[in-house]
Amino acid sequence: MSAFSQDILELLRLDYGVSPEQASTVQIYDAVSRAAMAQARRRWQTPARGKRACYFSAEFLMGRMIGANLYNMGLLKECASFLAAHGLDMNMFEEIGDAALGNGGLGRLAACFLDSAATCGVPLDGYGIRYRYGLFAQTFEDGFQKEAPDDWQRFTDPWAVRREEDAVLIRFADQTVRAVPYDSPVIGCGENALVNTLRLWQAEAQRPFDFDLFNRQKYSAAVEERDRAEAISAVLYPNDDTREGKRLRLKQQYFFSAASLADLVKRYKAAHGPDLSGFAEAYAIQLNDTHPTISIPELLRLLMEEGMDFDAAFAVVCRTFAYTNHTIMAEALEKWDVNLFKSVVPQLYPYVELLENALEMELALRRVPREKKQNYRIICRGQIHMARMAIFATHSTNGVARIHTEIIKHSALPEWYALWPERFNNKTNGITQRRWLALCNPELSGLITQRIGDGWITDLDQLKRLVPYADDPATQDAFLAVKEEKKRQLAQVIRSKEGFRLDPTFLYDIQIKRLHEYKRQFMNALSILDLYYGIKEGRITDLQPTAFLFGAKAAPGYYRAKGIIKLINEIARLVDGDEAVRGLLQVVFVQNYNVSYAEKLIPAAEVSEQISTAGTEASGTSNMKFMLNGAVTLGTYDGANIEIVEAAGEENNYIFGARVEDIEKLRQSYDPKQIYQAEPRVRRVMDALVDGTLSDGSTGVFRELYDSILEGASWHRPDQYYLLLDLIPYCETRLRLNRDVRDRRAFAKKCLLNIANAGQFSSDRTIRQYAREIWSV
Ligand SMILES: *Cc1c(COP(=O)(O)O)cnc(C)c1O
């Protein structure tokens, strides 16, 4: 028996006193994970030499770690045979909840980057927060979203090690807390692999919980101090949530930024002595969005308190940090109220003022006219603009897809680009093919490897060698057989999780992503209604039966997004209850969409819905996951969709709708009511919201959705995201797609060409670009 299998048996016996046959799923999970950890540990030590990069991120959406780690370590097969020998199988781990310490794309990107860096030999460590509760667990009750706390630690946390010795104290105006790090090994795959570290900080009371049971006052005070400290890392903020709690959010940001920097400074001094002037040659720090930007004044403070003057310290700060912008939506650009900031971290405010003064000098030097200065000020009208600080005090600002970077340079932040053009650069996002193909789709991986070998696992560009096979009928048929198998598997998952019988002979058309108006799940819903009425009215005949699948969480405070979930669930009910369409349409909204669900949904997809309003989706990454698994994109000219169709061919995808330039031209004159009046199909589907066809349980939310399109609201104009503008072209493009899929082999060819051209969307490529062009590691 192998050492690995022996370790598992030993851990089960010693820690739980059970045999594999007697053990619970969580016990097996814990023992297998820790047996693997024991092996990873041998390669897991930080090398003393050489520059390291650090990824500061408020979110790491890791998903389930066991599969990916075993895969990368080459232990997956061994684990499977160990389990089989005891009458078990890997599917048992489906019970283990995800580590969902992130909202969506931004957090998942951080996770993909860690995997790629470790695989490509790039020394990159992740720094973030060990939230006690991850993103809420979602269920539907009568079609409405319900939220429950996500207690992910109840499955134990065998992939992390508490490092008591590296705890640091973090000071706020009204409390001081201890930041205790939990480290996870980030295990790369293949020959160049490293074992890097993900370090997540947990907030605890400064002193041990020394309660005095017999002194009620002392006891309550101790309890209160503990709870107040632990609150800082208790919950992940759902994005798009603009309600109160800002103060805690700021504390979270300072908490992990200050802890991470204290850690790096301590390590630096241990290796290089007390003079910090070489700090930027030892560490490169990437700020994942503005959430960790408070690190900038914090590092300035640490350097100046060590005796460095401002100019020297500022130079170190600029050379150390780089900033990734993830959105240009005004409401998502972070600003902090000056008074709030001062009341949370007063020790930092003088350093923000120093930055503001330095900016003022720079603007004067560059002769920026007075009236233009407003666009630059870090401290402006009582607020601190974090994106401005991030651009000014770093050496690199990057967007996450080509169009997004162009929009940053030329329309979102042109005044900054004018002064510092050399700082702006693009790093198109990517995804790790280990999780998003090898692990989640072994059937397709097997087919690919059978044709071109397995080099693609660490070099995704090798997929290009599939191009000649796209025309090969045997490969086309094999691909279709794999797709059918993945659809059958998904139908089974959905049957058991949702109690819904998905027909595996239908075309699977999938939209999965956070629920947001700009992503336009609402437009998808309207287009399904158009199909529904088209069938009923006899306008649409011989439709290839289609199943529409959705997965999305809405931020708990985002009323309209929750209304859209209810709407889609009501459309599902309408379709399901109608004999005339039941054989042609299915609609299902899966509950609790997360990384593990995505791993089931994506391999089964034939159509990838990427329909954001042009100019709003910075990049998207689910579009890349679908492409890699052989789905065609039905999408707008937005984010990375543009690069996807450029690589895979417009003829192999389905692009529709207004482009950024069209929308810019139209902006002032756009009138959705005109479209509503002129186009009976649009009128028909919009009216279904308010004429009693669909019921919102008397909440009024469907009326609100209707009004948001046709009337607008005080804070936005009618149809802010141009749903009605794109609706009919969308429906027509989808019908064209639906006609095309009948030629199964021709469709398989399109899918194969998407796979063959997905190489550039590996996060291995992205991480190498960051390493070379930004971090110099
Ligand atoms: C990839 C991924 C996302 C990002 O999806 P987009 O469609 O690019 O917004 C969000 N959530 C999960 C769970 C993911 O795996």
CATH number of residue 499's parent domain: 3.40.50.2000
In a domain, 580, yes or no: yes
- The number of angstroms, rounded, from the C-alpha of 646 to the middle of its chain's C-alpha atoms is 24
Q: Is the CB of 448 under 6 A from ligand 1?
A: no
Residue numbers in the chain where pLDDT is lower than 50: 243
List CB contacts of 558: < 8 A, sequence separation 6 or more.
240, 241, 515, 516
703 is catalytic: no
Taking alpha carbons only, the member of 558, 520, 536 closest to residue 636 is: 520
Probe target for ligand 1 pocket from 621, 641, 643, with the most ligand atoms within 8 Å of CB? 621
Contact 306, 298 (CB under 8 A): no
Q: Which of 625, 681, 684, 734 does the annotation list as catalytic?
A: 625
Residue-wise burial string across 643-661, b where 16 or more C-beta atoms lie within 10 A, e elsewhere: bbbebbeeebbbbbbbbbe
Contact 403, 638 (CB under 8 A): yes
In a domain, 297, yes or no: no
Taking alpha carbons only, the member of 452, 714, 740, 719 closest to residue 606 is: 740
Q: Is the CB of 620 under 6 A from ligand 1?
A: yes
d(CA 644, CA 624): 8
Taking alpha carbons only, the member of 277, 320, 274 closest to residue 295 is: 320
514 is catalytic: yes
Taking alpha carbons only, the member of 464, 329, 516 closest to residue 762 is: 464
Q: Which of 385, 519, 553, 749 does the annotation list as catalytic?
A: 519
d(CA 638, CA 630): 20
Q: Which of 199, 435, 514, 681 does the annotation list as catalytic?
A: 514
Q: At what angle do helices 76-85 and 3-11 cross, to 10 degrees?
A: 50
**Number of domains observed in the structure of the chain:** 1
Cα(108) to centroid(ligand 1), Å: 7
Cα(125) to centroid(ligand 1), Å: 22
Task: Output the pLDDT for position 333.
Answer: 86
Q: Is the CB of 105 under 6 A from ligand 1?
A: yes
E strand intervals along 206-353: 283-288, 321-324, 335-337
Cα(506) to centroid(ligand 1), Å: 24
366 is catalytic: no
Q: Is the CB of 594 under 6 A from ligand 1?
A: yes
Probe target for ligand 1 pocket from 60, 108, 327, with the most ligand atoms within 8 Å of CB? 108
Contact 479, 748 (CB under 8 A): yes
Contact 32, 8 (CB under 8 A): yes
The minimum-distance atom of ligand 1 relative to the CA of 512 is 7
Tell me the backbone φ, ψ of residue 466, rounded to 5 degrees.
-80, -15
Cα(755) to centroid(ligand 1), Å: 19
Cα(512) to centroid(ligand 1), Å: 7
Q: Is the CB of 608 under 6 A from ligand 1?
A: no
Residue recorded with tokens 């789905």: 631
Probe target for ligand 1 pocket from 512, 516, 617, with the most ligand atoms within 8 Å of CB? 512
Contact 204, 229 (CB under 8 A): yes
Cα–Cα distances in angstroms (integers) from residue 550 to residues 48, 147, 327, in the given order: 48, 18, 23
Q: At what angle do helices 744-756 and 473-498 cross, to 10 degrees?
A: 90
Cα(625) to centroid(ligand 1), Å: 9
d(CA 217, CA 169): 25
Cα(753) to centroid(ligand 1), Å: 23
Q: What is the domain extent for residue 534?
A: 434-658+723-761
Going by alpha carbons, the residue nearest to atom 8 of ligand 1 is: 620
The minimum-distance atom of ligand 1 relative to the CA of 105 is 4
Cα(621) to centroid(ligand 1), Å: 6
In a domain, 573, yes or no: yes
Residue pLDDT, tens place only, 117-176:
999 999 999 999 999 999 999 999 999 999 999 999 999 999 999 999 999 999 999 999
In a domain, 757, yes or no: yes
Cα–Cα distances in angstroms (integers) from residue 68 to residues 54, 115, 436, in the given order: 21, 9, 10
Give the strand pairing for 383-385 and 335-337. Answer: antiparallel
Q: Which of 397, 405, 475, 621 does the annotation list as catalytic?
A: 621
Q: Is the CB of 551 under 6 A from ligand 1?
A: no
Cα(624) to centroid(ligand 1), Å: 10
Task: Output the pLDDT for position 16.
Answer: 96
Residue-wise burial string across 282-318, b where 16 or more C-beta atoms lie within 10 A, e elsewhere: bbbbbbbbbbbbbbbbbbbbbbbeeebeeeebbebbb
Residue recorded with tokens 């053009």: 421
Cα(629) to centroid(ligand 1), Å: 15
Contact 319, 280 (CB under 8 A): yes
In a domain, 17, yes or no: no
In a domain, 38, yes or no: no
Task: Output the pLDDT for position 240.
Answer: 55
Task: Output the pLDDT for position 242.
Answer: 53
Taking alpha carbons only, the member of 687, 722, 717, 683 closest to residue 703 is: 687
**Half-sphere exposure of residue 456, counting CA atoms within 13 Å on the CB side?**
31
Task: Output the pLDDT for position 218.
Answer: 85
In a domain, 729, yes or no: yes
Task: Output the pLDDT for position 697.
Answer: 96
Probe target for ligand 1 pocket from 59, 61, 115, 641, with the most ligand atoms within 8 Å of CB? 61
Q: Is the CB of 622 under 6 A from ligand 1?
A: yes
Cα–Cα distances in angstroms (integers) from residue 224 to residues 205, 206, 243, 427, in the given order: 10, 12, 25, 45
621 is catalytic: yes
Contacts 24+ apart (CB under 8 A), 700-704: 701/559, 701/560, 701/562, 701/563, 701/566, 702/563, 702/566, 702/567, 704/559, 704/560, 704/563
Residue recorded with tokens 């684990």: 79
Q: Is the CB of 610 under 6 A from ligand 1?
A: no
Task: Output the pLDDT for position 219.
Answer: 86
Q: Is the CB of 292 under 6 A from ligand 1?
A: no
In a domain, 531, yes or no: yes
Task: Output the pLDDT for position 336.
Answer: 95
